[in-house]
Amino acid sequence: MRFPSFVLLGAALAMSACSNVPTLPKGTPPTTAGYTKVMEDRLGPIWYRMVAADQKRTVGTVKLTFEASASGGHVRNLKIVSNDAGPADERIARAAVERLRLPPIPGAILQKENKHFISCEESFTIYQNPEPAPSPTAKKR
């Protein structure tokens, strides 16, 4: 009778993963800058993980704009504003933003903005990766 318990556990985990809505950390100020900080803190690890995994990248900057909707979740109206890097870098930047999951925007921010979304602009820069430094040699005693 172990099989049904595994099925039940798997179904429970799947349902909880589907209903997991990101929330703002406690203490986040109800300002556009506070919300933007939370967004960038979530976006950074996604970006760095994708850059580290893709060896086809080049050096340069990709600038893009998008909108965070009031209900949170995925971004919308993603547009590349400029790209002085390469197509691989544009693909990485676009994919990182598309994977981003945002918490709902607090009502106080929406009232100030008088909109149902926040407009965002981000720049992603890839620098040339220098050769790793040689390991230090042990001092002779």
- pLDDT > 90: what percent of the chain? 41
What are the DSSP calls for 50-100, one per residue? HHHH-TT--SEEEEEEEEEETT-BS-EEEEEEEESS-HHHHHHHHHHHHH-
- Structure confidence by residue, pLDDT tens digits, 55-78: 777 889 999 999 999 998 999 999
Q: How confident is the model at residue 99 (pLDDT cuts 50, 70, 90)?
A: very high
Domain ranges of the chain: 24-126
pLDDT given at position 56: 78
* Local confidence band at 114 (pLDDT 50, 70, 90 cut-offs): confident
Domain covering 24-126: architecture: 2-Layer Sandwich (3.30)
pLDDT for the residue numbered 63: 97
Q: CA-CA distance, 44 to 122, in Å (whole number)?
A: 11
